[in-house]
Structure 1
Amino acid sequence: MRSIWRTLDGGLARDVALVCAAIALVGLSFGAITVGSGFAIWVPLLMSVVVFAGASQFAFVAIIAAGGSIFAGVAAGLLTNARHILFGFSLGDVLGKSVASRLLGSHLMIDESVAFTIAQRDPDRRRAVYWACGAGLFVSWNVGALVGAIGGSMISDTNAFGLDAAFPAVLLALILPSLLDHVTRKAACVGAVIAVVASLFAPAGIPILLALSAVALTVPIRQRKKAVAR
């Protein structure tokens, strides 16, 4: 762990710390919303440790709170997390070779840790960022969920605080720097349109998967750029 922090420079460590602080607030909102929706206080705490996937956890709680079955909630969570299959292909080099390392690394694989890692080119920095960010986010999320769950049990109406907006706000902040690239911006816009249209008729989780098809737009353009550069 000490070697990981030595590999990170001050600026990168600061960015990781800021995201961890933001995720703690999102975890707080999850804990408060879950308890405020009628769940026992231990439910958000157990989910945060075992599942550790914000979007899936929010989806599960929303479906159950709306009267859906537990099977629908689990299915929505699995569909939402299906994107992690693609994440795994791009992060195989940072997870290590042992089974234990890969299992632990896979559990820490969330959008924020992936976003920080794929932005790095140096192998040592990729590993350092992934493990430092993943571990920090895990602790921050669970601490936030604990505080939120306790607070949610004391607040009658958690919706009045607008806590449900915290999660998408953090994700938007993460992707904004990537949108400076024209190719990425075009794919993101097309993916957003696909997701919005699909949400009108597709079950929860499916619109996100369909939106991933927009990534195909970036392949030919980047290949042409590489050919021109040569």
Structure 2
Amino acid sequence: MAEQRTLADPDVDGDKPDAVVVRDALGVGGAVGLSGFAFGVTSAGSGLTLVQTCVLSLLVFTGASQFALVGALAAGGSPFTAAAGAFFLGVRNAFYGLRLSEVLRLTRAVRPFAAQWVIDETTAVALAQPTRRSARIGFAVTGLSLYVLWNLTTLLGALGAEAIGDTDAWGLDAAGPAVFLALLAPMVKSATERAAAGLAVVLGLGLLPVLPAGVPVLVAALAAPVVLWARGRHVRGSVR
């Protein structure tokens, strides 16, 4: 039987050249990193200073959480609810880390630094590779290119927002949510994911007029466990 070259056997060299892995990783890092400009504009438009905006990208570095935070603040939400919404959106990165720890097998000294780059894009690129070596390259190149470009475009976006003044008048207040939806849409593929996304939209928009800013996002997060529970009941009923 031919030897299967997968991450299950990381010591076997894969057929994917390092140059191809680097090219693919740079493509992802470059494409997504440019959306940092939208975050810079949105953050500055919500009232955060240039320094606050840049520190968020430097330390938080997870687009969904950053957009949720500044979006809630812009809508008049309290810092607590804004931070809570950002936190719950960022929890998924912890689960990514558990999977990547098995794939990358980094040394203890490197793990704290690598943890900063555990996001959707680096996880997707790393898990798509056939061997541990290519997974490490993909993770590192995606993380580095995306981190540098995201922070650079955040700075440019915040400076641009300050220069043009009222971002609402230019319609740039919608740039952040639009970019986030554009990144999220391709990930929603299965019927379960579509149901969870649809329910989250209904909850978020329906509760927007009656709950304080930032709280509808937290309630919308309940859509996923509700849909999974309903699906589980349906599957058990079909088995019977």
TM-score, L = length of structure 2: 0.73
| Correspondences of 1:43-54 after superposition (within 5 Å) | 43-54=52-63
- In structure 1, the residue matched to 2:13 is none
* Matched length: 205
Which of 123, 131, 135 is 1:126 aligned to?
135
Deviations 1:37-77 (A, max 9, x none): 22211111001111111111111111112221111111111
What is the CA–CA distance in structure 2 between the aligned matches of 1:85 and 1:156, rounded to whole Å?
38
1:163 aligns with 2:172: no
What is the CA–CA distance in structure 1 between the aligned matches of 2:52 and 2:79, rounded to whole Å?
13
How has the CA–CA distance of structure 1 residues 171 and 77 changed in structure 2, closer, same or farther, with 3 Å as cutoff? same
How has the CA–CA distance of structure 1 residues 45 and 95 changed in structure 2, closer, same or farther, with 3 Å as cutoff? farther
Q: CA deviation at 1:132?
A: 1.3
1:9 aligns with 2:14: no
Which of 66, 78, 98 is 2:75 aligned to?
66
Identity, % of aligned pairs? 32
SS of aligned partner of 2:35? helix
What is the CA–CA distance in structure 2 between the aligned matches of 1:134 and 1:213, rounded to whole Å?
33
What is the CA–CA distance in structure 2 between the aligned matches of 1:24 and 1:92, rounded to whole Å?
24
What is the CA–CA distance in structure 2 between the aligned matches of 1:121 and 1:209, rounded to whole Å?
35
Deviations 1:170-200 (A, max 9, x none): 3435x37xx4xxxxx2332233234334434
Runs of 5+ consecutive residues of structure 1 not aligned to the other structure? 1-5, 180-184, 222-230
What is the CA–CA distance in structure 2 between the aligned matches of 1:205 and 1:16, rounded to whole Å?
32
What is the CA–CA distance in structure 1 between the aligned matches of 2:130 and 2:203, rounded to whole Å?
35
What is the CA–CA distance in structure 1 between the aligned matches of 2:225 and 2:49, rounded to whole Å?
35
- Which residue identity does 1:172 align to in structure 2? A
SS of aligned partner of 1:47? helix
Decide whether the 8 Å contact of 1:95 with 1:105 is kept in 2. no
- Which residue identity does 1:142 align to in structure 2? N
What is the CA–CA distance in structure 2 between the aligned matches of 1:116 and 1:41, rounded to whole Å?
31
Give the superposed CA RMSD.
2.8
Q: CA deviation at 1:20?
A: 2.0
TM-score, L = length of structure 1: 0.76
What is the CA–CA distance in structure 1 between the aligned matches of 2:142 and 2:183, rounded to whole Å?
15
What is the CA–CA distance in structure 2 between the aligned matches of 1:94 and 1:140, rounded to whole Å?
26
SS of aligned partner of 2:129? coil
SS of aligned partner of 2:109? helix
SS of aligned partner of 2:61? coil
1:195 aligns with 2:205: no
How has the CA–CA distance of structure 1 residues 123 and 96 changed in structure 2, closer, same or farther, with 3 Å as cutoff? closer
What is the CA–CA distance in structure 2 between the aligned matches of 1:151 and 1:92, rounded to whole Å?
39
Q: CA deviation at 1:215?
A: 7.1
What is the CA–CA distance in structure 2 between the aligned matches of 1:7 and 1:168, rounded to whole Å?
33
- In structure 2, the residue matched to 1:227 is none
What is the CA–CA distance in structure 2 between the aligned matches of 1:187 and 1:120, rounded to whole Å?
26
Runs of 5+ consecutive residues of structure 2 not aligned to the other structure? 1-15, 208-214, 236-240
What is the CA–CA distance in structure 1 between the aligned matches of 2:87 and 2:126, rounded to whole Å?
23
- Which residue identity does 1:188 align to in structure 2? E
- Which residue identity does 2:159 align to in structure 1? I
What is the CA–CA distance in structure 2 between the aligned matches of 1:34 and 1:21, rounded to whole Å?
21
| Correspondences of 1:1-230 after superposition (within 5 Å) | 8-10=18-20, 12-159=21-168, 160-161=171-172, 162-164=174-176, 165-173=178-186, 175=187, 179=189, 185-199=190-204, 200-201=206-207, 203-208=216-221, 210-211=223-224
How has the CA–CA distance of structure 1 residues 50 and 170 changed in structure 2, closer, same or farther, with 3 Å as cutoff? same
Deviations 1:75-120 (A, max 9, x none): 1111111112221222112454433322111110111111222222
How has the CA–CA distance of structure 1 residues 45 and 87 changed in structure 2, closer, same or farther, with 3 Å as cutoff? same
Decide whether the 8 Å contact of 2:104 with 2:135 is kept in 1. no
